[in-house]
């Protein structure tokens, strides 16, 4: 009786080359094979989905970084404009008050 490992090199299950004895055993083996194939397809779908999500994460991180740079630039420009508008008011200051006599009699 020759033994071989089945699957992806894990070596946990072993298949024999002997033909199955009865119909129930044949059905059980077919179910096991179909289940393995289904599990392999499921792992492949999961891997593809994970790769797609990782790609989306990378794209969103780049977009977020770009938006943060744009926001910082806009804040810098806004501060510059505010400072330009504020400085003339500070430099100009208030006009000097002129004191006037009101209701006073001239001598």
Which one has a higher pLDDT value, 82 or 99? 82
* Tokens representing residue 25 in the block: 């055993």
| Neighbour count for residue 15 (Cβ, 10 Å) | 14
Q: Are 6 and 15 in contact (CB under 8 A)?
A: yes
| Neighbour count for residue 32 (Cβ, 10 Å) | 13
Residue 65 is predicted with a pLDDT of 98
pTM: 0.52
Name the most confidently modeled range: 16-20, 31-35, 90-94. Answer: 31-35
- What band does 12 get if pLDDT is binned at 50, 70 and 90? low
Residue 85 is predicted with a pLDDT of 79
Give me the chain's average pLDDT, please: 82
């Amino acid at each position: 009786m020759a033994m071989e490992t089945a699957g992806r090199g894990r070596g946990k299950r072993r298949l024999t080359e002997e033909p199955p004895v009865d119909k129930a055993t044949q059905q059980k083996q077919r179910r096991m094979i179909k289940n393995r194939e289904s599990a392999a397809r499921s792992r492949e779908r999961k891997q593809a989905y994970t790769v797609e999500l990782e790609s989306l994460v990378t794209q969103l991180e780049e977009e977020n970084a770009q938006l943060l740079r744009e926001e910082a630039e806009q804040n810098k420009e806004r501060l510059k404009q505010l400072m330009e508008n504020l400085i003339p008011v500070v430099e100009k200051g208030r006009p000097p008050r002129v004191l006037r006599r009101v209701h006073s009699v001239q001598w």
